[in-house]
Structure 1
Amino acid sequence: MADRASYAYDPVGTGAVSQQHRMEAGQLWRQYVIAGIANIAIASTGYSMGWTSPVNIKLQDKNATDSPLPEPLSPDELAWVGSLLPVGAIFGPFIGGLAASKIGRKWGLMSSAIPLFVGWILVAVAKNVGYLYAGRIFWGIAVGMLFTISPMYCAEIATNEVRGALGSFLQAFITLGFLLVYGIGPFVSYNVVAYVGVAFVAVFSISFYFMPESPMYHLIKSDRESAAECLMTIRGRSRTGIETELNQIAADVNASMEKTATLADVFRGSNFKAFYISCALVFFQQFSGINAVLFYMNTIFKAAGSDLDPSIATIIIGAVQVVASMITPLVVDRLGRRILLLVSTCGTAIGLALLGMYFLLNSQNSPVVSSIGFLPILSLVLFIVTYCWGLGPLPWAVMGELLPIEVKAVASPIATAFCWIMSFLVTRFFEPIAEAVGMYVAFWIFGVCCVCGFFFTLFLVPETKGKSLQEIQEILAGGKSKPEKA
């Protein structure tokens, strides 16, 4: 393990590493630990996003034995409780982008704890459904902030060889949050679920307080000494050992700071190419139908004739999500982003096609249905696993890599807000559309979107594996990339 944790980093990508660098090995594990602690906040948002799954049952309890509300929620009220988090997340990216540029990536992440805390307090003391609406909106603001700043922070602290892994932490940690709320929600009281949520945010706030700022942010603010201190902490090296890399980052920052990014700059040249690729990837992520599939998970299990308790089934699917999401950080910097996105879009399309076929046959009372009762569960597992390999984590990782330094604070919030607008549309209107045209048609629409995502990735998404941020910008501008290092 000691050998794998130590490395000699060539920041310029020339293959020439100084004698000092060869003598002084860095500590790669530090990047994983720092990014992991930063993503505790992402796990907290997963816990908040998955909260509706076990708690909706409590809120519909006609006996009101475990609900803080005076009467059960109506189906329409439940639909709004579910869909208001994406509404808050539409506005969160702009707050997060402003915080990242004004107070830094670290303190921007720290500030996301404020709306998370407020949301949990509102949920804990809820007296009517209005409290829940407000709490979900505050959670959404935090989600939008974190989905903007976290990929930015992880991309900026990472060396080229692990940047994809750290970027894919987002999906892995969000599924851990889902699994936690799925695992404890059905078996504890409404208030205990809320108290665990508060504790989750507190753990993040305390632990991340001791983590370093992004060196790139300090250099943007012309504070070279603070940048050096942060880089020494992140790399586990002396000042001499990080000097070459610091010079390279400073040169990249200086080159980018020669241009002052405006909204108009986002829509010009290679900036626009990075922006529309980022927006397209988050579109395909949301219109893979992930939220709709998870929302109808119990229906899918019942359609399969499963006797498994829905709460247990949800926990199993949550565990499958976690295991599948943990695979991506291990292989993304070996296989590359494009191959995983291609596998993911292909796998989700097949899973959705099979789900749609089953529901079509079921709606026609086909005798074949009784012999293929396994198909919904098989399709669901295929969909979940392949989604977690690519469409879940990689749009955020790729966004953090493609957008140049000078436009990140402007473009990232727009792309993230676009993602959550798409999420709101899917969450709020899937059910009425499915009722109007049939659930099988709705699943097939999502499947077609995944097929479109496959060809978009094949022809338009550049491979960023092993490339420096500067090399990626050269590729977007139409230049040739350097051969990948073995």
Structure 2
Amino acid sequence: MATDQDIENGSANMLQPFIQKNEKLQTSNQNGSLFMVFLSTFVAIMGSFEFGSSNGFTSPTQQAIMEEFGLSFSQFSVFGSILTIGAMAGAITSGRAADLLGRKGTMRMSSVICTAGWLTIYLAQGPLFLDFGRFLTGYAIGVHSYVVPIFIAEITPTHLRGALLTVHQVFIATGLLVSYIIGALVTWRTLALTGMIPCAIMIIGLNFIPESPRWLAMVGYRNEFHDALQMLRGDNADVSEEEAEIQESLAILQHLPKATVMDLFLNRNLRLVIIGVGLMVFQQFCGYNGIVFYSNQIFTSAGVPPNVGSILYACLQIIVLALGALIIDKAGRRPLLMVSAGGMLLGSLLTGTSFYLKEHDIASDLAPVFTLIGIMIDMGSYCLGLGGIPWIVMSEIFPLHIKGIAGSLVTLASWGGSWVISYSFNFLMAWSSYGAFSLFATFCALAIVFVFKLVPETKGRTLEEIQASMN
């Protein structure tokens, strides 16, 4: 039996089986059927779609809601940013909920809460119920933002994991685009009703897909674990090696005491936490959510028709994300993150320059062009790496015994940063529009350095191999 010292130091003898796995496991997975993996992923990413539609709700509805309820810009900023307050509450509880209720049970719970949130917004007759409904939808997508990528990572074969996790981000962008398009055609109350559709699809679809095999193994449901894994890999697939690898990994983790928050700061885990939290901080402070929440205002300020600009960049996101899904398991996580941060740096500088030209009445005819190009580059670059890959890395690097606590912390960091940006964005733009984008550009530059120095490459390895090598 391994000693506590062996476990703390990540004993080489214990980790070696995971680092030296041959290619038989991947081959056996490829010989099976992937239908259930794709179906399960589709049901899960309804939560991703909900994530995008909730984020995009404020942009096409801002003027109508402000006029109907007589809200000031500050009051509407509260409505916009309260989504992230709810998401932070969801993030805090998401890890424990996923460990206690299972991945499917947690997705079902959050879908019900999200449906209640949209219904409250639809029926709202004043700012109080409007904000409460927004809080509920925020709570739900805070939970979704953790449990959806975790579920996909735990059910997907190694050679498809990066691509299918990128689909999570594709559907966030799709939800955003649909929200913009429908919002330009219908009233804000009708738009709120459409938000319940993906929730209903998820609630129904969860009845037809298996639970995460890794969660079932973790809680001791051995027969259900085998059945779920066989269902995901196909009736003819040989799952014996994958089953053994998961069981071996869990056997090692069972030597460890029950994880607490303080365990995150132990030597063996601290680097993982720094990587997970750091990526989420840079994901948010590069300015993406400020642009999403207030895109109409940005385009109007720069002289670009807001509906045209918003729909154009939402379409661009889907195209770039689809490209990312095709190349992520070949190009790797690190290169795409650095290219993404570099592109966002360029996009922020171009957008800041456009506002500087307009404010100082220098070549003012070029300002709308620079804004449109800058936002397109910024959004496209975000989708290529910083948008989705931090969630992928988060779902890959943490061992099962701390995944709930660590995942909650990382998700909280993401939504905390989102709240800071979404709430402060209007004030930053009032202070200095080009100064705001210069600040975002600075964070983009720091993100490149952070990824280069600290973030590991995880492509082409099983979750167990990644976690063993990190130790």
TM-score, normalization by structure 2 = 0.91
Q: Check 1:114–1:289 CA distance in 2 against 1; reply closer, same or farther (3 A cut).
A: same
1: CA distance, partners of 2:19 / 2:206: 30
Equivalence for 2:5:
none
Equivalence for 1:206:
204
Q: Check 1:296–1:127 CA distance in 2 against 1; reply closer, same or farther (3 A cut).
A: closer
Q: Does 1:293 align with 2:291?
A: yes
Equivalence for 2:416:
421
Q: Does 1:57 align with 2:63?
A: yes
Q: Does 1:122 align with 2:116?
A: no
Equivalence for 1:145:
143
State the Cα deviation string for residues 302-335 of structure 1 (Å, max 9, x = none): 45544x4x22332222111222222221111111
SS of the equivalent of 2:195 reads helix
Q: Which moved more, 1:97-106 or 1:275-284?
A: 97-106
1: CA distance, partners of 2:390 / 2:254: 26
Equivalence for 2:370:
375
2: CA distance, partners of 1:30 / 1:338: 30
Q: Check 1:31–1:393 CA distance in 2 against 1; reply closer, same or farther (3 A cut).
A: same
Amino acid at match of 2:314: G
Equivalence for 2:247:
250
Q: Which moved more, 1:455-464 or 1:30-39?
A: 30-39
Equivalence for 2:438:
444
Equivalence for 1:345:
341
Pick from 172, 187, 190 the counterpart of residue 188 of structure 2.
190
- Confirm or deny: 8 A CA contact 2:309 2:372 kept in the other structure: no
2: CA distance, partners of 1:76 / 1:362: 24
Q: Describe how 1:137-286 pairs up with structure 2 within 5 A.
A: 137-238=135-236, 241-259=238-256, 260-286=258-284
2: CA distance, partners of 1:380 / 1:401: 30
Pick from 434, 447, 450 the counterpart of residue 453 of structure 1.
447
SS of the equivalent of 2:184 reads helix
Calculate the aligned-residue CA RMSD, in Å: 2.0
Amino acid at match of 1:257: Q
Per the TM alignment, residue 12 of structure 1 is displaced from its structure 2 partner at its CA by 8.2
- Confirm or deny: 8 A CA contact 1:147 1:416 kept in the other structure: yes
Equivalence for 2:12:
none
Per the TM alignment, residue 74 of structure 1 is displaced from its structure 2 partner at its CA by 2.2
2: CA distance, partners of 1:304 / 1:86: 27
Q: How many corresponding residue pairs?
A: 452
Equivalence for 1:482:
none
Equivalence for 1:467:
461
Q: Check 1:203–1:15 CA distance in 2 against 1; reply closer, same or farther (3 A cut).
A: same
- Confirm or deny: 8 A CA contact 1:93 1:417 kept in the other structure: yes
Equivalence for 1:32:
38
Relative contact order: is structure 1 or structure 2 higher (C-alpha 8 Å, sep ≥ 6)?
Answer: 2
Per the TM alignment, residue 29 of structure 1 is displaced from its structure 2 partner at its CA by 4.6
Equivalence for 2:107:
109
Pick from 353, 360, 385 the counterpart of residue 357 of structure 1.
353
2: CA distance, partners of 1:120 / 1:219: 35
2: CA distance, partners of 1:46 / 1:236: 32
1: CA distance, partners of 2:23 / 2:311: 50
2: CA distance, partners of 1:303 / 1:188: 24
Amino acid at match of 2:141: V
1: CA distance, partners of 2:149 / 2:336: 18
Per the TM alignment, residue 121 of structure 1 is displaced from its structure 2 partner at its CA by 1.6
2: CA distance, partners of 1:72 / 1:12: 61
Per the TM alignment, residue 456 of structure 1 is displaced from its structure 2 partner at its CA by 0.6
Per the TM alignment, residue 57 of structure 1 is displaced from its structure 2 partner at its CA by 2.3
1: CA distance, partners of 2:235 / 2:348: 49
State the Cα deviation string for residues 142-176 of structure 1 (Å, max 9, x = none): 11111111121111111211111222222111111
2: CA distance, partners of 1:210 / 1:452: 44
SS of the equivalent of 2:238 reads helix
**Gaps in structure 1 of 5+ consecutive residues:** 1-10, 65-70, 478-486
2: CA distance, partners of 1:132 / 1:215: 39
2: CA distance, partners of 1:21 / 1:427: 46
1: CA distance, partners of 2:129 / 2:195: 16
Per the TM alignment, residue 359 of structure 1 is displaced from its structure 2 partner at its CA by 1.4
1: CA distance, partners of 2:64 / 2:340: 35
> Which portions of structure 1, spanning 4 or more consecutive aligned residues, are displaced by more than 6 angstroms?
none
Per the TM alignment, residue 280 of structure 1 is displaced from its structure 2 partner at its CA by 0.4
Pick from 19, 26, 50 the counterpart of residue 44 of structure 1.
50
**Gaps in structure 2 of 5+ consecutive residues:** 1-17
Amino acid at match of 1:466: G
Higher helix share: 2
2: CA distance, partners of 1:341 / 1:395: 9
Per the TM alignment, residue 403 of structure 1 is displaced from its structure 2 partner at its CA by 1.0
Q: Describe how 1:67-146 pairs up with structure 2 within 5 A.
A: 71-146=69-144
Q: Does 1:319 align with 2:319?
A: no
1: CA distance, partners of 2:119 / 2:390: 32
Per the TM alignment, residue 289 of structure 1 is displaced from its structure 2 partner at its CA by 0.3
